[in-house]
A and B are shown apart, each in its own frame.
Chain A
Amino acid sequence: MPNATLDKPAIDCRDLRFRWYRRGPLVLDLPELRVERGEKIFIAGPSGSGKTTLLSLLTGVGVAETGRVSILGQDLAALSGSRRDRFRADHLGYIFQLFNLLPYLSLLENVLLPCRFSRRRRLNAGGSPGALAAEGRRLLAHLDLGDLKLRQQPVAELSVGQQQRVAAARALIGGPELVIADEPTSSLDMDRREAFVKLLFNECSRQQATLVMVSHDRSLEHLFDRSIQLGQINRVEPGIVRET
């Protein structure tokens, strides 16, 4: 079992280099990126800054050409592909920009989805089906989705804002140490963005989870503990990077 040591930083990257294909251009050249436990970090990434690449490296889906990605003290390169998948399931919550939910699962089933793939998170969330459901409902209530009628609706009929909050509940279920959100607010109305981020903050603080949010929307930047300009720390010339 890949272990995540408590005293190690949440994210510790050194000398990361990455290209999508051999002899292609470098899309990421990152001397250092460090996020402490419990921090709430804003990464400002305009398109072309290597945002997608960085996320795939942080989640262990992609592997850096050189350099080191250490998440919660675990060197991801040291893990096999399937172990990285396990690690991601156990320790990471992920929120997409849009379309976070599987339309064929109920709202609660969507929230509990990570517990199907991670024993650790299933146990953290209560273990038994009844306890899991209770924990899911608790999280949903915290994210202003306590309404029983809402929970019985097909998820495709939820508003975008509601869908994003369900996604947040899913990212947080079973207490993962690191939550990564990829432009989670960009499809929300301006006045809803701050409310969403605050709800996310509250729940992350409660679970002592580290939050990394990537966005090009600087209006929310001031709410975070710290902000990183990916365009500045990535030494690759902007414009070379092609997001795929």
Chain B
Amino acid sequence: MATLILAWKSLLNRRYTVGLTVLAIALAVALLLGVERLRYEARSGFTATISGTDLIVGARSSPVQLLLYSVFRMGEATNNISWRSYRQIADHPRVQWTVPLSLGDSHRGYPVLATNQDYFKYYRYADARPLELSQGEPFSGVFEAVLGNEVARELSYELGREIVIAHGADDVAFVRHDDMPFTVRGILAPTRTAVDRTIHISLEGFEAIHLGWQAGVPLPGRQVSPDEARQRDLTPRQITAFLVGLDSRAASFQLQRYVNDYPREALTAILPGVALHQLWDLLGMAEQALLLVSWFVVGVGLLGMLSAQLSNLEARRREMAILRAVGAGPRYILLLICGEALMLALLGAVLGTALLYALLFFAGPLIEARFGLFIGIGGLRPTELTYLGIVLLAGLFSGLVPAVRAYRQAVVNGINMRL
């Protein structure tokens, strides 16, 4: 205890250089924990995007691509599924529910998803949470829309507002469906998934705005008014993908095989969990690299401490000689320097953790608003605690280098001070 007090007072005496060392370690630790937390939250946010769906079916493509466009609304489908095939698979005895999805249009950069009422009934995210409306109700008419929370917030849209949907992902003036605007009927509560960035309309509405269009452009003289459209048969001829719920999880593989071998059309069925995992592994490279870099930063911080301690040793010769003269053994000197390194690493770790929490507290809402990534201010998770432990251990080991040097000096030079 007395040793600790002595070591502490010695540290305080050198508070500026020591403070800088601690700051360097703290910043490194904050970065390391920050990256780790970001990784964790990104991953859990990512996997929380869809749950409760047993299969996703789309035209034949890679599972990751299918997942990307059907769940994350990123990229485009290579092909569509005919309505007939969809109906046939939906009528399979093991299938309990399906949710058809049609994608391709957008509104001011936000993807438009055409679906039916079942979407609000069956879509689940996170821990099997259903979608909830914060305002209004699901669409019922042909030209009605339900906005994801972020869309409504960012564009300041309210119920009753009319919106015009653009053809394709880019909002270009001459391919707008401006003759058939949609009315906002409902706004969804935040989900922290891709749903927040989506505008939902009915399949019939989607069909209606594409009447008189071919190959992505309106055919001149074939334009239809909204009222005329309502008179037509708006059953879709094609959809992009559909979600499938089965009567039992065990049937997933059986139905996956059935879809993949579907004779009339080249289709792909994926298990969302598996595909999410594959996709994450793909993205994981960047995340691993980031983590590696933060470990390097921690290493640099500790190296800074090592060099500070080593160069301090020369200046502390007098201190060591005095301690030796009053009876401190070389082992005491060793412990003193090692203890000091451990103390600095501990201070750095504590300060770094505090820094991280301060950052989460102040920047967390900003990150969520900008990137849609929610980062929880929870306690330290086991991985993070392990990382902190590793930092402390590394600090102790880096302290061994100057400690052994001081030990040798204490043995050889003893109480002789070179002045």
Contacts and interface: CB of A to CB of B under 8 A. Distances in A.
Contacts, number: 76
Contacts of A137: none
A99 B327 contact: no
A85 interface: yes
Interface SS of chain B: helix, strand, loop or mixed? Answer: helix
B328 A104 contact: no
Q: Is the interface on chain B under 10, 10 to 19, 20 to 34, or 35 or more residues?
A: 20 to 34
A104 B414 CA distance: 21
Interface string A72-111: 0000000001100110111000101111111111000000
Given A102-B319, A104-B12, A116-B6, A86 B418 contact: no
B322 A102 contact: yes
A52 B412 CA distance: 12
A215 interface: no
B397 to A, nearest CB: 24
Nearest to A118: B327
A114 B2 CA distance: 12
Contacts of B325: 59, 88, 94, 96
A188 to B, nearest CB: 15
B228 to A, nearest CB: 90
A127 interface: no
A240 B327 CA distance: 31
A244 B416 contact: yes
Interface in A110-131: 113-114, 116-118
B415 interface: yes
A116 B2 contact: yes
A90 B329 contact: no
A56 B329 contact: no
B341 interface: no
B416 A56 contact: yes
Contacts of B318: 99
B62 interface: no
Given A102-B319, A114-B327, A96 B9 contact: no
Of the listed residues B318, B325, B413, the one surrounded by the most CB atoms of chain A closer than 10 A to its CB is B325
Given A61-B414, A96-B321, A98-B419, A81 B329 contact: yes
Contacts of B330: 81, 85
Q: Is the interface on chain A under 10, 10 to 19, 20 to 34, or 35 or more residues?
A: 20 to 34
B415 A56 contact: yes
Contacts of A81: 329-330, 411
Given A59-B415, A96-B321, A100-B322, A105 B9 contact: yes
A113 B9 CA distance: 13
A88 B328 CA distance: 9
A68 interface: no
Interface in B316-351: 318-319, 321-322, 324-332
Contacts of A86: 327, 329
Interface in B191-210: none
Contacts of B367: none
Contacts of B10: 102, 104
B88 interface: no
Contacts of A59: 325, 414-415
12 contacts: A52-B416, A59-B415, A81-B330, A81-B411, A85-B329, A89-B327, A96-B325, A97-B419, A98-B417, A104-B9, A104-B12, A170-B326
Given A98-B419, A99-B318, A117-B327, 14 more contacts: A59-B415, A88-B327, A89-B326, A89-B327, A90-B327, A94-B325, A96-B322, A96-B415, A99-B322, A104-B13, A113-B326, A117-B326, A118-B327, A244-B418
